[in-house]
Amino acid sequence: MLSFLPKTPTDIMQELQVKFKERRKSLGYTQPELATRSGVSLGSLKRFEGSGQIALESLLKLALVLECLEDFSGVCCEEEERYGSMDEILKNQKKDT
């Protein structure tokens, strides 16, 4: 995929699928162990690691056990002001001084 194109929901799902599987393995959890610890069914975990499909609540439960739940706290936060050009940045700096 070209880097200048925005990511699609499918792209994000695939990234999460890979990251969560890698995290599970790095912490030494088997699929059945992670399923038991998180309360997410083994079938749901296998589907997630195979296709990226998972319910939000299940994803968050997995994130809790995999010690990455805090990563979700930044979703939809207010963004810093965006500028369209260097002129806008310079004007804003002059205004603040």
Q: Tell me the pLDDT tens digit for each residue of 21-41.
A: 999 999 999 999 999 999 999
Q: For residue 82, is pLDDT > 90?
A: no
Question: Tokens 């940045």 belong to which residue?
Answer: 89
For helices 9-26 and 56-65, give the axis angle rounded to 10 degrees. Answer: 30
Q: What is the pLDDT of residue 74?
A: 87
Report how far residue 60's alpha carbon sits from residue 4's, in angstroms, rounded to the nearest whole number: 29
Do 31 and 70 meet the contact criterion of CB atoms below 8 Å apart? Answer: no
Residue 14 has pLDDT above 80, yes or no: yes
pLDDT (average), residues 45-51: 97
- Per-residue DSSP letter, 67: T
Domains of the chain listed by start with CATH number: 9-72 (1.10.260.40)
* pLDDT greater than 70 at residue 97: no
Q: In what helix (H) or strand (E) does residue 93 lie, and over which residues does it extend? A: helix 86-96
